[in-house]
Chain A
Amino acid sequence: MIKLGHGNLRIPKFEKPVYMVAAGQTDFRKKYPEKTTEELCVEAFSMAALENDLKVSLSELKRMINFCVYSQFADHFGDQLLGASKIHDALGFDPLGNIEVKTGGATGGHSVLAGALAVASGYANCVPVVGWERMDEVPTRQGNAYIASAACKNFESELGWMYTAYYALMAQRYQYEHKVPRETLAKIAVKNHGYAVSSPFSQNPMRITVEDVLENNLVSDPLSFLECCVMSTGAAVLILADEETAYTITDQPIRLTAICSGTHTLRTADRRPMEVLRLPHEPEDLYKNYQHDWPGFSSFLAARMAAYLAYHMAGIKNPVEDLDILETHDAFTISDIQTYEDIGLRPYGRGREFIDSGEGYYGGKLPANLSGGLIGSMHAVGATGIFQINEIFWQLQQKWAKFHADPKMWERYGKTKPADFENLQVKNARRGAAISHAGTGSHVTMAILEKV
């Protein structure tokens, strides 16, 4: 059993405060043959540099940068090793130092973590984090097999070559333990496909009903196609800076108050039961009578660990009260419910209440995945964790409408702004969080951003 020592639970700290100054991204598509991966990254960086009301020109910004972080999940997909070198060259950053980060689905989150570490330590004072995935070179079935190469090749991959099946195992166990109705899971798919309708970046916008989800074909019982994330091609970029540099670049920097990482075994099978790690707002006796294995197949220790560290680091006493907006890694409806509990929006076993109460919707206490999430908008894996933070960043800057409501944004991607477009800017949003998640919970980061 995992026993956490004092050193293991030491709360991370930044030596210097870290700020985010700009965000940029492409739209996300199932297939994007019109552009090379380098073009997509240049497009995302250019949006970050030119469309965020910065006080410096693109060339001035480039001359301020001293280190770069690259985020790509799988060389398999792009069929190009050292792809980061081509992106670095395309962006004209040679001979600056760079690193490429790889932690599966959580690569985006961990890349932002790497960028933050560089700024927080004083190693660098301006760092772009550039993420992408080109998932359109292979048919979907082959893409799923590639993703399943991120399961254990000795004991798991052959059993399905399909991550949905591994999540379905968790879904069945979760439903057995906590009796979450299929309708609640379906509501998450309805919500996120629905929010995607108001995003020009999204790949899979849909106005659907709970019945549509329940009647949809199953990929792996009980998960239907509408409850699974999309496979996308596209790129996302964000720029981090220390305080002095941030205010030179923009009048509206957003502070990254925490970004913390947790992990757990790649194989769900290997997760031995342990004592629940309690979050700051959870009373000591909350899980005294908890009857199930923890984390078992119903919870993610990696997400709990990331949230534990991030809440302590950012001074979050109660996430639902203290946060105004949230982006979760909704790869599957089931993992979203699990995550609500891991990050303490509800105690274990009661995650459904976050949806059933309406709290997780626009207008609720903590709207989640207004971007459309991975189910509705995009999952170009290396870009995903960056895209989520970008969407939070624009919300906190009160600039969501600039990037989503302007008909020109839609035209840029060959789309027409829909008649049923909704303004999803959260009024007075001050603090937001984003979860980046890999495997069946092998790596998770939680980032917390705050308006200055």
Chain B
Amino acid sequence: MSIELTHPGCELLSGQPMVIKNVKNYFHIHTYGGLSPFFVGLREGRLLGTRCGNASCEEQRIFLPPRTHCPDCLSPSVWVEAPTVGEIYTHTEILYPGAGFKLTTPCPLISVSLEGVCTKMMSYLKEGQPRIGMKIKAVFNTEHPTHTILDLAWVPA
């Protein structure tokens, strides 16, 4: 006798070798944990970075992306406002993104250089053609936030 299953089964793509399609449809719950103030900030139109909370640490510049702890002395960080005007350190244009990309192509991807910030965060240019050294300012997606890093972008200053 044949086994009868109510499940529709897998689609057969090839008989020999036998190849089937195994469909996945699931989600992950992701926490921003101690980095949450940064993402809450984006929703409010604020760019928050962190600084080492230890006054005797050699690294007193701002980290952006923020860090919950200073990588040099492991002291807890304090949240500070980062400059929202800076310049393009480098750029590219994404023409073929990977699956799950939510912006439109071509997408100008940039790395941002900010005064007093020791890192150069990755972001994208919402308007204009990027070039190295171009002055830019931060813009935020406060109306319908995605709650991701895409809620921050830059435009020519």
Chain A residues proximal to chain B, CB less than 8 Å: 1, 33-34, 79, 137, 139, 141-145, 147-148, 152-156, 158-162, 164-166, 168-173, 176, 217-222, 267-272, 297
- Neighbour of B90 across the interface among A139, A153, A297, CB < 8 A: A297
- Neighbour of B111 across the interface among A144, A148, A169, CB < 8 A: A169
Contact B96 A170 (CB under 8 A): no
* Cβ distance B52 to chain A, nearest Cβ, rounded Å: 12
B66-99 Cβ-contact flags toward A at 8 Å (1 or 0): 0000000000000000000000011111111111
Q: Knowing that A160-B94, A169-B111 touch, tell me 14 more A-B residue pairs with CB under 8 angstroms.
A: A33-B14, A33-B17, A144-B98, A145-B100, A148-B98, A159-B124, A159-B150, A161-B98, A161-B100, A168-B94, A169-B110, A220-B109, A221-B92, A221-B95
CB neighbours (8 Å) of A173 from chain B are 89-90, 111, 132
CB<8 Å pairs between A and B, sample of 17: A1-B58, A141-B97, A142-B98, A144-B97, A144-B98, A144-B99, A159-B124, A160-B94, A165-B92, A172-B91, A172-B92, A173-B111, A220-B109, A270-B63, A272-B118, A272-B119, A297-B89
Contact A145 B99 (CB under 8 A): yes
* Cβ distance A91 to chain B, nearest Cβ, rounded Å: 21
8 A-B pairs closest in CB distance = A161-B98, A144-B98, A168-B92, A173-B90, A145-B98, A221-B93, A145-B99, A141-B99
Chain B residues proximal to chain A, CB less than 8 Å: 14, 17, 19, 22, 30, 32, 35, 58-59, 63, 65, 89-102, 107, 109-111, 118-124, 132, 148-150
CB neighbours (8 Å) of B22 from chain A are 79, 137
Q: What separation, in Å, do the CA atoms of A159 and B101 have in the docked complex?
A: 7
Contact A154 B102 (CB under 8 A): no
Contact B65 A155 (CB under 8 A): yes
Contact A267 B122 (CB under 8 A): yes
CB neighbours (8 Å) of A153 from chain B are 30
Contact A160 B97 (CB under 8 A): yes
With A33-B17, A161-B100, A269-B119: A218-B91 Cβ-Cβ less than 8 Å: no
CB neighbours (8 Å) of A144 from chain B are 97-99
* Cβ distance B112 to chain A, nearest Cβ, rounded Å: 9
- Neighbour of A158 across the interface among B89, B102, B120, B132, CB < 8 A: B102
CB neighbours (8 Å) of A154 from chain B are 32, 35, 65, 149
Q: What separation, in Å, do the CA atoms of A210 and B96 have in the docked complex?
A: 22
* Cβ distance A30 to chain B, nearest Cβ, rounded Å: 14
* Cβ distance B152 to chain A, nearest Cβ, rounded Å: 10
Of B59, B98, B101, B122, most A-chain CB atoms within 10 Å? B98
Contact B98 A162 (CB under 8 A): yes
Contact A170 B97 (CB under 8 A): no
With A219-B95, A220-B94: A34-B17 Cβ-Cβ less than 8 Å: yes
CB neighbours (8 Å) of B123 from chain A are 159
Contact B149 A162 (CB under 8 A): no
With A172-B91, A268-B111, A272-B118: A155-B149 Cβ-Cβ less than 8 Å: yes
Contact A165 B94 (CB under 8 A): yes
Contact A176 B111 (CB under 8 A): no
- Neighbour of B97 across the interface among A34, A156, A162, A221, CB < 8 A: A162
Q: What separation, in Å, do the CA atoms of A152 and B148 have in the docked complex?
A: 12
Q: What separation, in Å, do the CA atoms of A21 and B120 have in the docked complex?
A: 46
CB neighbours (8 Å) of A145 from chain B are 98-100
Q: What separation, in Å, do the CA atoms of A219 and B35 have in the docked complex?
A: 32
CB neighbours (8 Å) of B97 from chain A are 141, 144, 160-162, 165
* Cβ distance B122 to chain A, nearest Cβ, rounded Å: 5
Contact A269 B65 (CB under 8 A): yes
Q: What separation, in Å, do the CA atoms of A114 and B55 have in the docked complex?
A: 40
Contact A160 B58 (CB under 8 A): no
Q: What separation, in Å, do the CA atoms of A272 and B52 have in the docked complex?
A: 15
CB neighbours (8 Å) of A268 from chain B are 111, 120, 122
Contact B109 A165 (CB under 8 A): yes
CB neighbours (8 Å) of B111 from chain A are 169, 173, 268-269, 297
- Neighbour of A169 across the interface among B59, B92, B99, B119, CB < 8 A: B92
Q: What separation, in Å, do the CA atoms of A33 and B95 have in the docked complex?
A: 30
Of A137, A156, A160, A268, most B-chain CB atoms within 10 Å? A160
CB neighbours (8 Å) of B32 from chain A are 154
Contact A176 B99 (CB under 8 A): no
CB neighbours (8 Å) of A172 from chain B are 90-92, 132
Of A1, A145, A217, A269, most B-chain CB atoms within 10 Å? A269
CB neighbours (8 Å) of B121 from chain A are 155, 269
CB neighbours (8 Å) of A169 from chain B are 90-92, 109-111, 122
Contact A218 B95 (CB under 8 A): yes
* Cβ distance A259 to chain B, nearest Cβ, rounded Å: 27
Among residues of B, the one whose C-beta sits closest to the C-beta of A163 is: B98
Q: What separation, in Å, do the CA atoms of A179 and B17 have in the docked complex?
A: 51
CB neighbours (8 Å) of B99 from chain A are 139, 141-142, 144-145, 161
Q: What separation, in Å, do the CA atoms of A33 and B15 have in the docked complex?
A: 11
Among residues of A, the one whose C-beta sits closest to the C-beta of B112 is: A269
Among residues of B, the one whose C-beta sits closest to the C-beta of A218 is: B95
Contact A160 B95 (CB under 8 A): no
Q: What separation, in Å, do the CA atoms of A161 and B90 have in the docked complex?
A: 18
